[in-house]
């Protein structure tokens, strides 16, 4: 047998290209001739399709001028349905009627030249107006609470507004009196960092989750754990309670959000679809009932009944670590290192960007007055007017004396039930409470509102 000669891939590809070239090179000059009549017809159809409305208006304007006898005041092209065919020609040459540009210009004659005519004027669009931001009083630090031995990672306020709970890297959940800031109770049971807390408005239950993959239900009448929810494959970072039905939603590093029956501990749904850690979840009574933000840079809106994703918002360029619902408007905001974005429910229509942070945004909170607060990983706090996106205050949170500047980081924040106190938990192991400055006024702290700069930034 004759041995087959082996060739490299480069040689085989080159031979194939050469055979193809030799096969088709003979047809190179056999292109069909251009039919001038067909070309004219094509351009005429294009002109009628794109500018037919303007041609009709120009013809009406001419007829109206003829009836009044002031044909010298207006110069329009004949109706394109007459003998002269309008055509769009290349290279700036005149078409067969010679008046295409005249027709387009005369259809938009200002009202000063034809004030007595019955022509329909094409009015310019009104420039969008930027609403003036509502004045908000600046916020100031009023109390610093120490007691945890590690980073304080989460906070939740009791619906009666009497106390709040915090969870930290020291594995302890602490209950604090909201009015005095004194420690009331410490709950131990987690074996790793506590990352999420929420208090039930209808039951005496406190729910907690942590990096030990555990989700616990605490009975606050006996101060002990009465239920465990098993199913997460990795650390659980966030949780939320449904406001009207007894279900709990948890999410974390296994890229899923799980829906639990509060009483039977059954895993009703596993909401899968994210491709990275789910860092934030919120829940509301109307669709979309569950909204999640993930490190895969997406926000997902979920149908709770079907257990499926309704839509995925991919506008963010970096990880989404915080989502917050407005307490009265049908809107929510999502935070990422690139910017904070506001959305309208239920489809997730984009509203506006809030720019300014140059670090990870770990937490957000909004009160009924329309004050949106965002906290960064470098300790910066930004206060925004929700409706206009105006940043009316920003400052660097002070670190605990004895701590390093690198420990200035805000991990969680929430308003109390009245919206008059802001509670933040930070990397310097402290809890800080802020309130509005009662002595401030519009004269002492005016709104520095420059619409031309805002417009340039937004558009």
Asked if pLDDT for residue 169 goes beyond 70, the answer is yes
| pLDDT of amino acid 30 | 65
Output the pLDDT for position 458.
46
Residue 457 pLDDT greater than 80, yes or no: no
H or E element: which one contains 389?
Answer: none
46 pLDDT tier (thresholds 50, 70, 90): confident
Assigned token pair, 263: 């009483």
Edge-to-edge strand ranges of the sheet holding 205-210: 194-199, 205-210, 215-219, 224-228
Q: Is the pLDDT of residue 222 over 70?
A: yes
pTM for the predicted model, two decimal places:
0.71
Determine contact, residues 358/391, Cβ cutoff 8 Å: no
Any residues with CB less than 8 A from the CB of 343 and at least 6 apart, and which? Answer: 299, 313, 331, 332, 333, 334, 349, 350, 351
pLDDT at residue 108 in the model: 42
Band (pLDDT 50/70/90 cuts) for residue 127 is low
- Displacement of CA 104 from its chain's centroid (Å): 41
Q: Which range among 2-6, 223-227, 249-253 shows the weakest confidence by mean pLDDT?
A: 2-6
pLDDT at 99 over 60: no
Mean pLDDT of the residues in the chain: 84
> Which of the four pLDDT bands, split at 50, 70 and 90, describes residue 57?
confident
Provide the β-strand partners of residue 414: 423
Identify the bridge partners of residue 271 per DSSP, sorted by sequence position: 257
Closest CA to 396 of 412, 414, 415, 377: 377
pLDDT higher than 90, residue 13: no
Is 334:325 a contact under the CB 8 Å cutoff? Answer: no
């Amino acid at each position: 047998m004759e041995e087959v000669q082996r060739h490299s891939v480069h040689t085989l590809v080159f031979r194939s290209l050469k055979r193809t070239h030799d096969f088709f090179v003979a047809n190179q000059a056999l292109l069909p001739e251009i039919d001038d009549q067909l070309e004219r017809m094509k351009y005429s159809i294009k002109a009628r399709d794109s500018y037919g409305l303007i041609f009709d208006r120009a013809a009406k304007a001419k007829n109206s001028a003829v009836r009044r006898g002031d044909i010298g005041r207006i110069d329009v092209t004949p109706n394109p349905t007459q003998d002269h065919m309008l055509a769009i020609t290349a290279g700036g040459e005149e078409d067969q009627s010679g008046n295409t540009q005249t027709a387009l210009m005369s259809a938009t004659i200002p009202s000063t030249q034809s004030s007595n005519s019955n022509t329909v004027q094409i009015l310019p669009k009104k420039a969008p107006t930027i609403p003036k931001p509502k004045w908000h009083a600046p916020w100031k630090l009023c109390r610093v609470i120490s007691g945890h031995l590690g980073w304080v990672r989460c906070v939740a306020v009791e619906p009666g507004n009497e106390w709040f709970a915090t969870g930290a890297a020291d594995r302890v959940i602490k209950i604090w009196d909201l009015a005095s800031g004194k420690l009331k109770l410490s709950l131990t049971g987690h074996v790793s960092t506590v990352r999420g807390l929420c208090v039930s408005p209808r039951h005496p239950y406190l729910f907690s989750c942590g990096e030990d993959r555990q989700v616990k239900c605490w009975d606050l009448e006996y101060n002990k754990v009465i239920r465990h929810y098993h199913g997460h494959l990795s650390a659980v970072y966030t949780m939320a309670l449904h406001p009207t039905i007894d279900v709990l939603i948890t999410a974390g590093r296994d890229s899923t959000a799980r829906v639990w029956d509060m009483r039977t501990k059954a895993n009703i749904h596993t909401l899968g679809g994210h491709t990275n850690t789910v860092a934030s979840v919120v829940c509301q009574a109307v669709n979309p009932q569950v909204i999640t933000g993930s490190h895969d840079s997406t926000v997902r809106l979920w149908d709770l009944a079907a257990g499926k994703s309704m839509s995925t918002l991919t506008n963010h360029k970096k990880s989404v670590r915080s989502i917050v619902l407005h307490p009265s408007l049908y809107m929510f905001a999502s935070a990422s290192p690139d910017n904070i974005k506001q959305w309208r429910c239920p489809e997730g229509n984009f509203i506006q960007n809030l720019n300014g942070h140059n670090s990870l945004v770990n937490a957000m909170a909004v009160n009924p007055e329309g004050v949106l607060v965002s906290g960064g990983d470098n300790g910066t706090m930004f206060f925004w007017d929700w409706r206009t996106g105006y940043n009316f205050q920003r400052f660097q949170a002070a670190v605990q004396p004895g701590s390093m500047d690198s420990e200035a980081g805000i991990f969680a924040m929430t308003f109390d039930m009245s919206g008059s106190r802001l509670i933040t938990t930070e990397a310097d192991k402290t809890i800080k409470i802020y309130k509005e400055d009662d002595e401030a006024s519009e004269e002492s702290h005016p709104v520095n509102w420059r619409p031309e700069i805002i417009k340039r930034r937004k558009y």
